Structure 1
């Protein structure tokens, strides 16, 4: 994270500086963007656990599904010399903040909780900066899901698609039956979510890794990426004209309410179905997106701790980290959020069929080498490269840009510093 990039974004959020309050003893101020129905319920559980331990929770919630607004607010606070106690950041962003020298060491909580032996390597490595824990992992989301309203599918005479030809056949039938085939929010991160899922489904995990993790120029401009954009372009035809600017949870509500048949979205969408009292297998279906059944794109939510001077606040950070990793919180948070616990020792009894499938598929993908970090959700590339890629995908989704032009632009975006 370049310091000048941080400074630029401060000017847009000057108002936040005046409201930044110092954190008091035995209090944690947590900046996060969990604001939808299922997410808010999950945060409330963490607040409850912390207050039971005698620590006051000061909520600093910043709406915006992908966290862009929260990131801007966080930059403003850090530049002002008044960081929150903790903030929801993840993936390469943890390393970027670590390089700025502003993250707190929470090895004491990790050692006491035996995190190294408990967590999968892919999780623990992400939580460390220069070998030290600076963040606590909250959950694991699978991104490459397709959410389906079975009633809409039945009325359309369509079946759950496992391949792209089957997907377009189902989309045609759903549209002809008078429903919206694909519920989508036309925001950059949502467009990128569909894009990376299509890339995984069209090219497989090895192609995905070379293109969207390693940023290999030949792969980014090759025929498989052209085919990815061709497929994405076809999907555009099944999205309604009101999609631009729509929040993800409103798109999920379209599937819940039977206005739309399908949605590409990570399993935080399941939290919305659950909050609406819907049951998997009956009221909604979860299926790996076409062509991705043997692969798994992950998004790990985490809470990073920032350096604070107050000794009581430092102790409260360790209490928060321990609470996040507690079996009690891991279970209740993920039941509400739609995700799965980072701890493999949490009993499965209360988790539904979608969560159990996610657990099994993550383990199988990890073993097969097809477990991949999500580019769209800040797990694979730097924030600068991610932003440049978002711009390309968004332009493609909302213009007449050709697939050939898109792959060239994407390769250029991958070189962003």
Structure 2
């Protein structure tokens, strides 16, 4: 009763036609860094403005592996949160297990089929019904460079891997850590897919890491990509193992490191630190991938709620996620771009505008590819097995590219 009265106070005067209904939304996510937390806070404000109670269920860990472990235990116990951050093929797997909520009525009322690209909307559905709400579009194949460090060594953003290593050598000679990296398997995997994309191109990337074609996985091109990938490690500092991605980004922000390969959520950290693109940092496509775009779409799967008021609050949450207002403020903070095709980009910085331009262009030329490192391309089982093989290679001295290639090809057959 106290919760309802509080909600009515927030909502203002209640008409005789019907009282405002307050509910609770428990949201499971792993957005805990500066720029991410600021973005989540905006969604919380919108829900509180509607009179609902926001229950934050944050589980730290950039790739969400920890969050998924917690979610499984909650679902098995029959007490799932209202919404959980899940994406890509994993949405279909969770939906197949049962327990997800059908939010098609919310989608229809808000014209989701019209404002979402079909490649995105199809991922949000299970057997034709919406079960998830997309939040944004991230470009994964970004290279971030400290502008002052770049100017100091007289370099420019590298267009290919030869230029990347030449710049790395300049940073090293200047006493700057060439590459900021966090030694976690998902960060290794992010770097690996960027190298495969840059060395082999979008078609090869699709054959090898989306279709998991054995011929491509065992090809000379893959061997070359693995050789380049391992060479990058020689430019990483000894403190990398176990480092969170945002701490690696901070190294670039502070000028301790020259560059970082990371998705555009890293830009949220630069912005939160008061840095501006072009002035304090440079954003460029990872070497060799200017005409390609690996994407990651964050989304929230909705789970069935036993309480009717909570179910209503859940619907309001889904609607709020795709509202033009939230899409703008969230993505301005997060570093990503809106998932709505009708979003205005005039308030976004040059990196986001370039991302949006490239997103639309690559969607037409075949360069738009789902990120395997971020759960958009293949089943979690296959992605997990390949990720383990990639990190094993990264962390094992003396392993040849040929041996690593064989292990990755074998891992790709995991079901």
TM-score, normalization: structure 2?
A: 0.94
Q: Which moved more, 1:36-45 or 1:158-167?
A: 158-167
Correspondence list, 1:264-413, <5 A: 264-400=261-397, 401-413=399-411
Q: Which moved more, 1:56-65 or 1:312-321?
A: 312-321
**Whole-Å separation in 1 of the counterparts to 2:174 and 2:156:** 14
Pick the aligned partner of 1:204 from 198, 201, 214: 201
Pick the aligned partner of 2:152 from 134, 155, 166: 155
**Whole-Å separation in 2 of the counterparts to 1:293 and 1:117:** 29
**Whole-Å separation in 2 of the counterparts to 1:174 and 1:157:** 10
**Whole-Å separation in 2 of the counterparts to 1:92 and 1:194:** 21
**Whole-Å separation in 2 of the counterparts to 1:26 and 1:93:** 28
Aligned to 2:17: none
Deviation at 1:69, TM superposition (A): 0.6
Aligned to 2:122: 125
TM-score, normalization: structure 1?
A: 0.93
Contact 1:25 1:310 in 2 (8 A): no
Contact 1:179 1:259 in 2 (8 A): yes
Deviation at 1:312, TM superposition (A): 1.4
Deviation at 1:316, TM superposition (A): 1.3
Deviation at 1:210, TM superposition (A): 0.6
Aligned to 2:88: 91
Aligned to 1:5: none
Deviation at 1:95, TM superposition (A): 0.5
**Whole-Å separation in 1 of the counterparts to 2:100 and 2:199:** 39
Deviation at 1:157, TM superposition (A): 2.3
Deviation at 1:406, TM superposition (A): 0.8
Query: Would you say 1:82 and 2:107 are equivalent positions?
Result: no
| Structure 2 SS opposite 1:126 | coil
Aligned to 2:185: 188
Contact 2:22 2:51 in 1 (8 A): no
**Whole-Å separation in 1 of the counterparts to 2:209 and 2:100:** 27
**Whole-Å separation in 2 of the counterparts to 1:84 and 1:319:** 15
Contact 1:147 1:265 in 2 (8 A): yes
Query: Would you say 1:217 and 2:214 are equivalent positions?
Result: yes
**Whole-Å separation in 1 of the counterparts to 2:88 and 2:344:** 27
**Whole-Å separation in 1 of the counterparts to 2:115 and 2:343:** 11
**Whole-Å separation in 2 of the counterparts to 1:116 and 1:346:** 15
**Whole-Å separation in 2 of the counterparts to 1:33 and 1:379:** 17
CA deviation digits over 1:196-223, x for unaligned, max 9?
0000000000000011010001101111
Deviation at 1:256, TM superposition (A): 0.1
**Whole-Å separation in 2 of the counterparts to 1:366 and 1:159:** 28
**Whole-Å separation in 2 of the counterparts to 1:348 and 1:381:** 31
Contact 2:145 2:259 in 1 (8 A): yes
CA deviation digits over 1:326-360, x for unaligned, max 9?
00100000000000000122221210000000000
RMSD: 0.9
**Whole-Å separation in 2 of the counterparts to 1:295 and 1:109:** 34
Deviation at 1:25, TM superposition (A): 5.9
Q: Which moved more, 1:341-350 or 1:258-267?
A: 341-350
Q: Which moved more, 1:396-405 or 1:261-270?
A: 396-405
Aligned to 1:71: 68
CA deviation digits over 1:38-87, x for unaligned, max 9?
00000000000011011111000000010011000000100111000110
Contact 1:158 1:174 in 2 (8 A): no
Query: Would you say 1:236 and 2:233 are equivalent positions?
Result: yes
Q: Which moved more, 1:360-369 or 1:157-166?
A: 157-166
Alignment: residue pair count: 394
Deviation at 1:159, TM superposition (A): 1.7
